[in-house]
């Protein structure tokens, strides 16, 4: 039987099976879900065994287990490493869900459940694709390694440890991840760029204690005012980040890329509607899509100090705080940027305050050479799977895993995701389009077939150069 | 027995009794202290009865009760209305108190407790003074009306209602209030000027929901950034409030007053030490004392929005908030200033946000004609009570009651307070100097005696002109 026919004939079984996985509330952030985490890992392992994968392991870690499996019986063919995660974000606030988060429900062609898009639904697309290949051909077209973790939503610490210790085992010709989205409903998309994320926290101290604003107001430095003036000065009037050197290493958006971005089926109107804004704002001289995907930013994520309760309190607080982050693009170096930001913050602050500047995390931007053969293979497979030409997109967000693994394993990474821009990945009513789910299984199965044509480095069997 | 001797011989009893009052956690802002509020009111009423006052009443209101008492058996003598409050600020953060806030503790001549200075300790100075007069003379030298409220820290709403409805009952020749401080330890002070206070709250909305800072960062308006830029623009580089018309009605500080301010035993060094600042800042062209007492300000009292918990959350909040206030000086009109401030805030905000601007309260500045006889009487009494020449000072803070009652009852108001500049009235480790407490009882008792010489308008017995 034809592969795509087989897949189309097994929609109901696949969807039913995904439902079983989504019903497990494998929330990684909450210790009361420890048992659910174990169940989800076991579910994935059992499924991999059922598919016919070899060496299925549930690998315990200090926190949540990893699931590994491989199928390396295609000598001379390339090896693909698939990554996904079985853990999910907490579902709260529960009252904002239309149907319960762990009771998968289909409404208007959308499958609603926590994890439907991020990432169980997308993991299951790969499981269903591998199973379909096995059923139709009795084998896989390439060597496949699968790693599914349970800590993606809480920092992947133990995954990175495992990867560092298991480089040889995980060696492959390409990494395939489905944890991103499509630019618009029905438009298959390959993500070739991610922004890096560095996150900072600032504590400004102006006094050794809170002061009465009547007694001291007008005569002392107010740290909230200092914070306001600081952040006002961290952007110029054109919306550019006013940190000397911030843009020095930014790779310009080429004319070709700008044109490609303009051609995307992407509507500023949809963003406005989702945001609820009459007008979108940002750095002068760039389109919204360029601002979101190709330009770095400095954003306040939180700011607090003084009295925040009901009514009035006449206080000048001793301290004021801010959390803020920079989204970085190629070729900005997060460490260098963090230094520049800290230097500028310290330079702008008045001498009358002290400042504790913390860089909570740094993360590199990522960009893939999407002209390379593997990306063209993905494009062909997606176009076939969805019956619509695939597009290349970037994303404004960051996937620490991608850059981390890029550093650790040094293999090309293909991000083919099936989420939707409004999928509510971390919010109530998370959902996955059934059209994307089924199109995803078709595309991914075809992609594994296409990958047979990739030049093999025998990554499955011997050391990589 | 001589009055002052009597007072000096009863220090221990007075202090012990004040301790009983301070142990009642009569926090007016918190409903769980409702019972404590009642107990404190009862305590005051019982004390007034014990002193020998007439017509002691606990007057219920929609929120916290008022306590009233009078002694009108001095025909032909003037009538004095004493005002104080038995409610206190919340004690939080509790962990910053050296000794528990409601367990009065003496350390190095200072009595530590929530309410020690603001205002229970000062109310008790008057109770002890009245009692001493009664004990020594069997009567009071003047007619006295006492009103003690339980809502000073939450806006005095029901006090004002009561005053409006009870003008005849409260009629007097002078109002005496002890809820202020002394310019320096041991220097008795009469406060003749207060700044007005208007308090505002701002809610900035930039989106209909919180947004992922990766997906939307750089392409949408960030309300925290808007807030920062707004407040940065509400002051100019000379520290002046950048609201058109803000200074229009400000009465200039006269050369004579500036000179008097310079002569005060007041040290910028002490303020720096208390605040913990190396340098004091403020409006260009004015001394610190002028900035604090005679110049208007605009101060941020609270600011919040986005993620304020531990670690990082990559969010662009939908909303950002600020609480801020203007301190006003003669002859600024609070209503007019509130309009100017709102107008300027709205003018400065970008079109991409909506803004809810609330004026939570307005309060007029106040200044007294301190050359008038009653102020000279107060000066003599204080000088005698403390054995050191009294001075005339202003205060940067606001006592809404004073201006409100000024408007409602139109009687001269004498502010003789015994707090300390670093008393922590609204902060942990609030305290009152025992020297001030005992000196206060002496001075106030002598002041009531002095007041017998004030021209009576027979306010105690018939309608005032």
* Mean pLDDT for the stretch of residues A105-126: 97
Q: Quick check: B303 and A304 CB within 8 A?
A: yes
The answer to the question of residue B461 being in a domain is no
As a whole-number percent, the residues of chain B with pLDDT over 70 amount to 98
The answer to the question of residue B340 being in a domain is yes
**Beta carbons within 8 Å of B363's beta carbon, 6+ residues apart:** B196, B197, B198, B328, B334, B398, B400, B403, B404
Please tell me the predicted confidence (pLDDT) of residue B464: 34
Please tell me the predicted confidence (pLDDT) of residue A462: 39
Q: Is the pLDDT of residue A422 over 90?
A: no
Residues B258 and B324 in one domain: no
Residues A49 and A158 in one domain: yes
- Let me know: does A418 contact A425? Beta carbons within 8 Å: no
Q: Comparing C-alpha atoms, which of A460, A397, A339, A389 is closest to residue A118? A: A397
Domain end position, chosen among B306, B329, B361 = B361
Residue of A219, A277, A300 lying closest to B292 (CB–CB):
A219
Beta bridge partners of A43: none
Task: Between A424 and B164, name the one with better pLDDT.
Answer: B164
- Let me know: does A193 contact A396? Beta carbons within 8 Å: no
Q: Which residues in chain B have their CB less than 8 angstroms from residue A302's CB?
A: 224, 305-308, 313, 315, 317
Q: Which of A182-186, A308-312, A381-385, B396-400 has the lowest mean pLDDT?
A: B396-400
DSSP states of A194-249: E-EEEEEEEEEE-SSS-EEHHHHTTTS--HHHHHHHHHHHTB-TTS-B-STTTTTT
Measured CA angle at A110 (ends A108, A113), to 5 deg = 130
Q: Is the pLDDT of residue B362 over 50?
A: yes
CA–CA separation, B376 and B447 (whole Å): 10
pLDDT tens per residue across span A190-211:
999 999 999 999 999 999 999 9
Interface test with A, best of B91, B214, B421 (most A CBs within 10 A): B214
Interface test with A, best of B96, B118, B180, B218 (most A CBs within 10 A): B218
pLDDT tens per residue across span B33-76:
999 999 999 999 999 999 999 999 999 999 999 999 999 999 99
Per the document, the length of chain A is: 465
Residues A318 and A375 in one domain: no
Residue B446 pLDDT grade (very low, low, confident, very high; cuts 50, 70, 90): very high
Q: Which residues in chain A have their CB less than 8 angstroms from residue B283's CB?
A: 218
List the CATH number of the domain containing B350.
3.30.70.360
Min Cα distance B456 → chain A (Å) is 35
Helices and strands (DSSP H and E) totals, chain B: 15, 18
Q: Which residues in chain B have their CB less than 8 angstroms from residue A349's CB?
A: none
Q: Comparing C-alpha atoms, which of B176, B135, B151, B163 is closest to residue B10? A: B135
Q: Is the pLDDT of residue A459 over 70?
A: no
Q: Quick check: B302 and A288 CB within 8 A?
A: no
Residues B244 and B261 in one domain: no
Q: Is the pLDDT of residue B95 over 60?
A: yes
Q: Is the pLDDT of residue A45 over 90?
A: yes
The answer to the question of residue B463 being in a domain is no
Residues A141 and A218 in one domain: no
Residue of A303, A312, A351 lying closest to B361 (CB–CB):
A312
Please tell me the predicted confidence (pLDDT) of residue B1: 73
Q: Is the pLDDT of residue A429 over 60?
A: yes
Residue of A231, A279, A325 lying closest to B225 (CB–CB):
A231
Q: Comparing C-alpha atoms, which of B202, B236, B244, B249 is closest to residue B343? A: B244
Q: Quick check: B304 and A301 CB within 8 A?
A: no
Which domain range does residue A329 map to?
196-250+296-361
Which residue is associated with the tokens 């400065």? B348
- Let me know: does A442 contact A4? Beta carbons within 8 Å: yes
Residues B160 and B63 in one domain: yes
Q: Is the pLDDT of residue A431 over 50?
A: yes
Min Cα distance A374 → chain B (Å) is 26
Q: Of residues A36, A87, A384, A450, which has the active-site annotation?
A: A87
CA–CA separation, A283 and A288 (whole Å): 9
Min Cα distance A232 → chain B (Å) is 5
The answer to the question of residue B457 being in a domain is no
The answer to the question of residue B232 being in a domain is yes
Counting the structural domains of chain A, the total is: 2
Please tell me the predicted confidence (pLDDT) of residue B459: 62
Q: Is the pLDDT of residue A465 over 60?
A: no
The answer to the question of residue A379 being in a domain is yes
Q: Of residues A151, A152, A430, A450, which has the active-site annotation?
A: A152
Interface test with B, best of A204, A209, A210, A228 (most B CBs within 10 A): A228
List the CATH number of the domain containing A406.
3.40.630.10
Cα(first)–Cα(last) distance of chain B, in Å? 39
Please tell me the predicted confidence (pLDDT) of residue A458: 63
Bridging pattern class, strands A79-85 and A174-177: parallel
CA–CA separation, A308 and A305 (whole Å): 8
Q: List the structure tokens of A5.
A: 């026919």
Please tell me the predicted confidence (pLDDT) of residue B463: 37
Please tell me the predicted confidence (pLDDT) of residue B465: 35
Q: Is the pLDDT of residue A155 over 90?
A: no
Residues A74 and A132 in one domain: yes
Q: Which residues in chain B have their CB less than 8 angstroms from residue A217's CB?
A: 292, 297, 299, 325, 327, 396
Q: Is the pLDDT of residue A1 over 80?
A: no
CA–CA separation, A310 and A117 (whole Å): 39
What torsion do the CA atoms of B207, B208, B212, B215 make, to the nearest 10 degrees?
Answer: -70
pLDDT tens per residue across span B413-422:
999 999 987 7
As a whole-number percent, the residues of chain B with pLDDT over 90 amount to 84
DSSP states of B303-357: EEEE--SSS---EE-SEEEEEEEEEE-TT--HHHHHHHHHHHHHHHS-TTSEEEE
Domain end position, chosen among A337, A361, A385 = A361
Residues B220 and B335 in one domain: yes
| Pairs across A and B, CB distance < 8 A | 286
Q: Which of A23-27, A87-91, A380-384, B243-247 has the lowest mean pLDDT?
A: A87-91
Residues B243 and B213 in one domain: yes
Q: Is the pLDDT of residue A318 over 70?
A: yes
Exposure of B435 by Cβ count < 10 A (0-12 exposed, 13-18 middle, 19+ buried)? middle
What torsion do the CA atoms of A57, A61, A66, A69 make, to the nearest 10 degrees?
Answer: -30
The answer to the question of residue B459 being in a domain is no
Q: Quick check: B230 and A230 CB within 8 A?
A: no
Beta bridge partners of B203: B321, B356
pTM of the model: 0.85
Please tell me the predicted confidence (pLDDT) of residue B458: 63
Bridging pattern class, strands B211-212 and B366-367: unpaired
* Mean pLDDT for the stretch of residues B341-359: 97
Residues B179 and B211 in one domain: no
Q: List the structure tokens of A1.
A: 């039987």
Residue of A271, A308, A350 lying closest to B302 (CB–CB):
A308
**If you measure CA to CA, which chain B residue comes closest to A425?**
B212
CA–CA separation, B25 and B36 (whole Å): 6
Domain end position, chosen among A361, A384, A404 = A361
CA–CA separation, B190 and B194 (whole Å): 11
**If you measure CA to CA, which chain B residue comes closest to A236?**
B229
Q: Which residues in chain B have their CB less than 8 angstroms from residue A319's CB?
A: none
Residue of A218, A275, A396 lying closest to B396 (CB–CB):
A218
Min Cα distance B219 → chain A (Å) is 5
Q: Is the pLDDT of residue B24 over 60?
A: yes
- Let me know: does B13 contact B79? Beta carbons within 8 Å: no
Measured CA angle at B54 (ends B53, B55), to 5 deg = 130
Element (H, E) at B359: strand B354-361
Q: Is the pLDDT of residue A456 over 90?
A: no
Residue of A229, A317, A327 lying closest to B232 (CB–CB):
A229
Residues A382 and A421 in one domain: yes
Averaged confidence pLDDT in chain A: 94
Averaged confidence pLDDT in chain B: 94
pLDDT tens per residue across span A3-26:
999 999 999 999 999 999 999 999
The answer to the question of residue B464 being in a domain is no
Residues A72 and A146 in one domain: yes
Min Cα distance B202 → chain A (Å) is 11
Q: Quick check: B302 and A303 CB within 8 A?
A: no
Interface test with B, best of A191, A220, A295 (most B CBs within 10 A): A220
**If you measure CA to CA, which chain A residue comes closest to B395?**
A215
Region of A71 on the Ramachandran plot (φ > 0 left; ψ -120 to 50 alpha; else beta)? beta
Total Cβ atoms within 10 A of residue B206: 27
């Amino acid at each position: 039987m034809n592969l795509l026919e087989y897949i189309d004939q097994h929609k109901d079984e696949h969807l039913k099976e995904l439902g079983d996985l989504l019903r497990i509330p494998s929330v990684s952030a909450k210790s009361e879900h420890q048992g659910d985490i174990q169940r989800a890992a076991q579910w994935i392992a059992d499924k991999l065994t059922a598919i016919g994968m070899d060496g299925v392991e549930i690998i315990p870690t200090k926190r949540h287990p990893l699931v590994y499996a491989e199928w390396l019986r295609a000598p001379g063919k390339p090896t693909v490493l698939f990554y996904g995660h079985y853990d999910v974000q907490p579902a709260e606030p529960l009252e904002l869900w239309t149907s319960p988060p762990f009771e998968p429900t289909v409404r208007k062609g959308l499958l609603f459940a926590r994890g439907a898009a991020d990432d169980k639904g997308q993991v299951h697309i790969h499981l269903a694709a591998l199973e379909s290949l096995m059923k139709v051909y009795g084998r896989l077209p390439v060597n496949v390694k699968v790693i599914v973790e349970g800590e993606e939503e809480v920092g992947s610490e133990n995954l990175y440890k495992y990867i560092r210790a298991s480089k040889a085992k995980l060696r492959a010709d390409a990494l395939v991840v489905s944890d991103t989205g499509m630019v618009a409903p029905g438009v298959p998309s390959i993500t070739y760029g991610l922004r890096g994320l560095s996150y900072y926290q600032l504590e400004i101290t102006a006094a050794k204690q809170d002061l009465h604003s009547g007694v001291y107001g007008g005569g002392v430095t107010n740290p909230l005012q200092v914070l306001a003036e600081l952040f006002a000065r961290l952007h110029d009037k054109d919306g550019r980040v006013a940190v000397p050197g911030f843009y020095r290493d930014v790779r310009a958006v080429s004319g070709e890329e700008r044109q490609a971005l303009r051609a995307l089926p992407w509507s500023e109107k949809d963003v406005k509607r989702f945001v609820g804004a009459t007008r979108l704002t940002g750095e002068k001289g760039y389109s919204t899509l360029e601002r979101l995907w190709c330009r770095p930013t400095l954003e306040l994520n939180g700011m607090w100090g003084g009295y925040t309760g009901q009514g009035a309190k006449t206080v000048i607080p001793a301290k004021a705080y801010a959390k803020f982050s920079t989204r970085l693009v190629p070729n900005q170096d997060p460490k260098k940027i963090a230094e520049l930001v800290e230097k500028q913050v310290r330079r702008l602050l008045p001498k009358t305050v002290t400042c504790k500047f913390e860089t909570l995390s740094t993360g590199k931007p990522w960009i893939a050479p999407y002209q390379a053969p593997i990306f063209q293979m993905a494009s062909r497979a997606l176009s076939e799977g969805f019956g619509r030409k695939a597009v290349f997109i970037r994303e404004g967000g960051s996937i620490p895993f991608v850059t981390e693994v890029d550093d650790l394993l040094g293999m090309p990474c293909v991000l083919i995701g099936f989420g939707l821009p409004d999928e509510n990945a971390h919010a109530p009513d998370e959902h996955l389009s059934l059209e994307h789910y089924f199109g995803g299984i078709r595309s991914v199965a075809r992609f594994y077939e296409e990958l047979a044509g990739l030049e093999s480095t025998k990554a499955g069997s011997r050391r990589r150069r």
